[in-house]
Structure 1
Amino acid sequence: MAGYEIRTSNSKKGKGLFATKKYDQGAVILEEDPLVSCQFAWNAAYRYLACDYCMRPLETPEQNVRRLACKPDIVLPHSNCFETNLESITTCNQCAVLYCSEMCRDRAYATYHRLLCYDTSDAQHPITVLLEAWKQMHYPPETTNIMLLVRILAYIEQSSNPSQAAAKIKQFCHRTVNEDAELVHKLLGEQFADQLNTLRDLTSNLISGEHVQEFLTPEGFCSLMALIGTNGQGIGTSPLAMWVNAVLEITMSDDERQQIDLFIDKLYQYVEEESGTFLNTEGSGLFQLQSACNHSCAPNAESSFPYGNHRIQLKALKPILPGDEICISYLDDCALQRSRHSRQKELAQNYLFVCWCERCSSQSSQPDCTSEEEMSEDDADD
Structure 2
Amino acid sequence: MDAKGFEVRFISELKGRGVFANKSFKSGDTIFEELPVVCCQFSWNIAYKYAACNFCMRPLETTQDNVRRLSGQKALVLPYPECCPTDSSSHAGQTDGLEYCLESVPDAAWRQFHQTLCVGTEADCQSHPLQRLDEAWRQMHFPPETASVMLIAQMIATVRQAEDPEAAINILSFCHRSRSEEQQLAHKLLGDQFTSQVDLLRQLLIEALYADCVQQWLTPDGFVSLLALVGTNAQGVGTSPLSMWVSRVAALPLCPEDRANIDTFIDGLYDTLHEEGGVAEVGQFLNNEGAGLYALQSRCNHSCRPNVEVTFPHNSSRLVVVATQDILPGEEVCISYLDECVLARSRHSRHRLLRENYLFVCTCPKCELEAGDPDETSEESDNDSNSSEQD
TM-score tier by shorter-chain length is over 0.9
Task: For residue 354 of structure 1, report the CA deviation from its aligned partner.
Answer: 2.0
**Mean alpha-carbon deviation: is it higher for 278-287 or for 254-263?**
254-263
Match of residue 109 from structure 1: 110
The aligned residue for residue 152 of structure 1 is 155
- Please tell me whether the aligned partners of residues 116 and 154 of structure 1 are also in contact (alpha carbons under 8 angstroms): yes
Aligned to 2:217: 215
Give per-residue Cα distances to partners, 1:277-302, cap 9 Å, x unaligned: 41110000111111111111111001
Answering whether residue 347 of structure 2 is matched by residue 340 of structure 1, we say: yes
Q: Is the 8 A contact 2:140 2:190 kept in 1?
A: no
Q: Structure 1 168/83 Cα, relative in aligned 2: closer, same or farther at 3 Å?
A: closer
List runs of 5+ in structure 1 lacking aligned partners: none
Q: Could you tell me which residue of structure 2 aligns to residue 363 of structure 1?
A: 370
| Cross-structure match for 1:134 | 137
Query: Alignment partner of 2:306: what SS?
Result: coil
Match of 2:171 among 162, 168, 172: 168
CA RMSD in angstroms, aligned pairs only = 2.0
One-letter identity of the residue aligned with 2:296: L
Q: 2:65 aligns with which of 59, 63, 66?
A: 63
- 1:322 aligns with 329
Partner of 1:282: 289
Return closer, same or farther for 1:120/1:347 CA change in 2, 3 Å cut-off: farther
CA separation of 1:39 and 1:83: change in aligned 2, threshold 3 A: closer
Distance of aligned partners of 1:177 and 1:350 in 2 relative to their CA distance in 1, 3 Å threshold: farther
Task: Give the whole-Å Cα distance in 1 for the aligned partners of 2:346 and 2:163.
Answer: 48
In the TM superposition, 1:167-206 aligns within 5 A as 167-170=170-173, 172-175=174-177, 184=185, 186-187=188-189, 191-206=193-208
For structure 2, the residue ranges without an aligned partner over 5 or more in a row are: none
Alignment check: 8 A CA contact 2:349 2:380 kept: no
Query: What secondary structure is seen at the aligned counterpart in 2 of 1:87?
Result: helix
Matched residues in 1 for 2:207 and 2:327: separation?
48
Deviations 1:325-373, CA, capped at 9 Å, x for gaps: 0011122223223333332233223322222211122223333332435
Listed one character per residue, the Cα deviations across residues 60-79 of structure 1 (whole Å, up to 9, x for unaligned) are: 11111121222222222222
Q: Pick closer, same or farther for the CA change 1:74–1:176 going to 2, 3 Å.
A: farther
User: Residue 270 of structure 2: which of 268, 271, 288 is its match?
Assistant: 268
Q: TM-score normalized by structure 1?
A: 0.93
Determine which structure has the larger helix proportion and give its number: 2
1:291 is matched with which residue? 298
Percent of aligned pairs with the same residue? Answer: 46
Deviations 1:229-256 (A, max 9, x none): 1111100001100011111111223332
Residues 77-104 of structure 1: per-residue CA shift (max 9 Å, x gap): 22213442121212355x2421011743
| Maintained 8 Å contact 2:56/2:104 | no
TM-score (norm 2): 0.91
The change in CA–CA distance for 1:244 and 1:160 in structure 2 (over 3 A counts) is same
Deviation track 1:34-57 (CA, whole Å, cap 9, x = no partner) reads 111000000000100111111111
Q: How does 1:31-50 map to 2 (within 5 A)?
A: 31-50=33-52
Following superposition, the deviation at residue 160 of structure 1 comes to 0.4
Alpha-carbon contact 2:55-2:104 (below 8 Å) kept: no
Is the Cα–Cα contact under 8 Å of residues 188 and 226 in structure 1 kept in the other structure?
A: no
Partner of 2:256: 254
What amino acid is the match of 1:281? N
